[in-house]
């Protein structure tokens, strides 16, 4: 069965410090990978998604970047954190449906990283 | 207009009650629909997919109304453990899913 690992679970970082969150998926190949952020009391905001190694799409302009160095590894980074980067960061994976352009398969989330920038 | 809209609630119901949530979506080309459950400070977990013909999983029933562009979730015989935030998710195109902000359900004894 497929599993997704995300770490760390919690993180407290000062403003201006770098960030690196890692996510790995097991039990599937060529998954679609996603980074979401959920601010306190808010909905999920898609930050990045990737359909393959080295292929990253950014949804919103921001202080963050993502990389996919391996098929089942997805990394979220920042060179200098801002206070507004605080939130609950969730990695997720999905597979393609039978028709890539018209079908979405459900997302499966990791346990999340709760980031507090101080 | 938001792509996916939900009543934020909270819905406060007694144990054993039946409760229903609706979710409206703006893009008529949407193809995929899901309900997720999110417990406090946890990740969302897939509750059920929503099919055109409607589907049922135990106490949970999901319906899709394409003409009016909404999906619904019905929970029968509510349990205390059903207390959570329920997220409506709609597939707009490609592999992008859009999440609603969620509806809070509180089941009380």
Q: What is the pLDDT of residues B24-54, one digit of tens each?
A: 999 888 888 999 999 998 999 999 999 888 8
Residues in B closer than 8 angstroms to A46, CB to CB, are 96-97
A interface test, pick of B4, B32, B43, B45 with most A CB neighbours within 10 Å = B43
Strands of B55-57's sheet in order across: B4-6, B19-25, B70-75, B60-65, B55-57
Identity of the residue in B42, B87, B97 whose CB atom sits nearest the CB atom of A104:
B97
Q: How far is CA A35 from CA A68, B22, B76, in A?
A: 11, 27, 34
Beta-bridged to residue A69, according to DSSP, are none
Percent of chain A with pLDDT over 90: 65
B91 touching chain A per CB within 8 A: yes
Give the mean model confidence (pLDDT) for residues B68-95: 92
| Residue B88, min C-alpha distance to chain A (Å) | 10
């Amino acid at each position: 069965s497929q599993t997704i690992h995300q770490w760390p679970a919690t993180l407290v970082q000062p403003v201006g410090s770098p960030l690196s969150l890692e996510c790995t998926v097991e039990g599937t190949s060529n998954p679609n990978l996603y980074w979401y952020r959920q601010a306190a009391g808010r909905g999920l905001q898609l930050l990045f998604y990737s359909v393959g190694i080295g292929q990253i799409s950014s949804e919103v302009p921001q202080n963050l970047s993502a990389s996919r160095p391996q098929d089942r590894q997805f990394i979220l980074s920042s060179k200098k954190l801002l206070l507004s980067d605080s939130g609950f960061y969730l990695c997720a994976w999905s597979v393609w449906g039978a028709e890539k352009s018209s079908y979405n398969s459900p997302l499966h989330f990791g346990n999340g990283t709760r980031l507090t920038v101080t | 207009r938001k792509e996916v809209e939900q009543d934020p609630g909270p819905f406060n119901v007694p144990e054993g009650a039946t409760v229903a949530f609706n979710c409206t979506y703006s893009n008529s080309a949407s193809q995929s629909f899901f309900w997720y459950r999110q417990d406090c400070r946890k990740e969302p977990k897939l509750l059920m997919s929503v099919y055109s013909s409607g589907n049922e999983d135990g106490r949970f029933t999901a319906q899709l109304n394409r003409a009016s562009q909404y999906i619904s979730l019905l929970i029968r015989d509510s349990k205390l453990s059903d207390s959570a935030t329920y997220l409506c998710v709609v597939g707009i195109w490609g592999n992008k899913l859009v999440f609603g902000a969620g509806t809070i359900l509180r089941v009380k004894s």
